[in-house]
């Protein structure tokens, strides 16, 4: 009999995920025994999804790049919230007006381009083509090199390219509970899974609650359960495997059937 899986990993756009979880909830697949894990595409926006979508995602576990709190982020968030609410305050579907790491990355990228452009302008006597036609500008390669070689402390952390990619030093693991997301741990290439990244992410009260071998804080799974699902179940409409055993005296060495 083939076992039916109860573990699902969701990697899609947030709008598509909203429809998926609505269907899963309607078909009782967000109940005890199921495991739903979402990648960072969805994990990043969990705090700003509409409330009706969050209501269908209770018990979901998600990953997203970790961004440490800082005074710069607090100031940026305050400005962002003010402008965002001024524009969308009448929209009843807006749940929380605060930036995500997508906005932090966008801000850092613009800062990197502006800094690289300024540096390229200083190196060239005719910088007009940088704006008019960057692909054919004689300073285009200098601009690209300045962006790739740039390194600074941005809103999302240390901004630098490695093999033309922005590395993510650590991921935050969150659990959707009621109307919010709750941090349950971290993952990083250095330490793997851990309940805390450093002392700043380790509340004093949690130091006594966790076992020495516990790699994550307690997860609330779908169905409001703290029992770790086994990840599979017997099919509801599956056929039972039947095994026929020959009852013969000639092969007692291999099979011996006795009446009970």
> 32: which residues sit within 8 A by CB, 6+ positions away?
221, 222, 223, 224, 225, 227, 229
pTM for the model: 0.74
Residue 213 has what pLDDT? 53
The domain made up of 1-66+169-259 is a member of CATH 3.40.50: yes
246-257: pLDDT as tens digits: 777 676 767 777
Strands, E assignment, 39-113:
61-65
CATH 3.40.50 in the chain, residue ranges:
1-66+169-259
Pairing between β-strand 35-38 and β-strand 7-10 as defined by DSSP bridges: parallel
Q: Are 170 and 186 in contact (CB under 8 A)?
A: yes
CA dihedral of 75, 76, 79, 82, whole degrees rounded to 10: -110
Query: Which residue shows structure tokens 């960072």?
Result: 40
134-176: pLDDT as tens digits: 555 566 777 888 888 889 999 999 999 998 888 999 999 999 9
CA dihedral of 33, 37, 42, 47, whole degrees rounded to 10: 60
């Amino acid at each position: 009999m083939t076992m039916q899986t109860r573990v699902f990993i969701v990697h899609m756009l947030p709008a598509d995920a909203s429809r998926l979880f609505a269907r899963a909830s309607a078909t009782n697949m967000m109940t005890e025994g199921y495991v739903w894990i979402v990648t960072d595409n969805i994990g990043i926006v969990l705090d700003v999804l509409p409330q009706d979508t969050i209501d269908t995602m209770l018990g979901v576990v998600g990953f997203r790049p970790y961004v440490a709190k800082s005074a710069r982020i607090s100031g940026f968030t305050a400005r962002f919230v003010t402008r965002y609410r001024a524009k969308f305050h009448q929209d009843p579907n807006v749940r929380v007006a605060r930036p995500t790491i997508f906005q932090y990355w966008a801000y850092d990228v613009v800062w990197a381009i502006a800094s690289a452009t300024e540096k390229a302008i200083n190196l060239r006597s005719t910088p007009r083509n940088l704006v008019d036609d960057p692909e054919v500008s004689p300073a285009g390669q200098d601009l690209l090199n300045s962006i790739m070689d740039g390194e600074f402390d941005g809103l999302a952390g240390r901004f630098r390219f490695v093999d033309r990619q922005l590395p993510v030093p650590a991921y935050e693991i969150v659990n959707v509970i009621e109307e919010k997301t709750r941090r349950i741990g971290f993952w990083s290439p250095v330490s793997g899974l851990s309940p805390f990244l450093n002392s700043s992410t380790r509340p004093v009260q949690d130091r006594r609650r966790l076992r020495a071998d516990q790699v994550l804080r307690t997860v609330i799974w779908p169905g409001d359960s703290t029992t770790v699902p086994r990840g599979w179940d017997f099919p509801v409409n599956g056929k039972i495997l039947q095994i026929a055993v020959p009852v013969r005296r000639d092969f007692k060495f291999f099979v011996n059937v006795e009446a009970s």
